[in-house]
Structure 1
Amino acid sequence: MVIIFSRSSSVLSRIIRFFDKGKWSHVAIKVDEHHILDSRFPKGVKVRHFDLTDYEFVEVDGDIEKALNHVGKKYDLLRFIWYGFEWGDKPWNNPNEMICSELIAESVNDENLKGMTPNEQYKYLRSE
């Protein structure tokens, strides 16, 4: 499975990279040459046209069918906000909603990816 780490010049991408102190602000799964699967605010998990402009591919052992089972889930805005403040001993999480890095953690065959931001996932996968 091909994971795509990306960033843009948008205000939100810059804010995410500032708080995460990293290069990437988003992560998606390559479905084919023209489509990706990801979770974005406000529409959630969807297969979309490949519209990323600044990105890097990373091959991983994962299950695209498992990832596709999450299509239709709403975006987990509370979990996203939690990463900015990290208030409490564990992330706020709605199991029926999902952020981009959570979609990757659920689809890749590596438990260590759970609870990581896109940038943390990138660093972890590149260190292997």
Structure 2
Amino acid sequence: MGAAQNVLNLKMSTIVIVAQIIVALSIIVVWVFRFDNIVKEFKQYGLPDLVRTIVGATKIALATLLIAGIWCPSLVVIPALLMAFLMLCAQVAHIKVRNPWHKYLPSLFLLFLSLFIAAAYTGVITV
């Protein structure tokens, strides 16, 4: 039973690391390579450029910490929870402007992944 449990733990740990990479790369792609779309969305939400800049810098910093957390796990919980909070804020912004449901999906997916990462690192779920 010990060897089987080790294989299961390795698979679950890999899933959590993959989740960290997905969240981090998604943030980088959207906030660096698709920034023109971000500018349009924040205008639609009625938010000032300063808020957009702060949110973007925060998300990129948190994404960096999630990647660094692969090698230094103590870095992961707070960035994962903060990322989840920012994704929850994105959901509220989508609701506020009554975007179509498909616009909610990326931030909803990243919200759940961020919560999964935080839960795994805090031991709320066993991986």
Q: TM-score, normalised by structure 1?
A: 0.28
Report which of the two structures shows the higher radius of gyration computed on alpha carbons. Answer: 2
More contact order relative to length (CA 8 Å, sep ≥ 6)? 2
Q: Which has the higher helix share?
A: 2
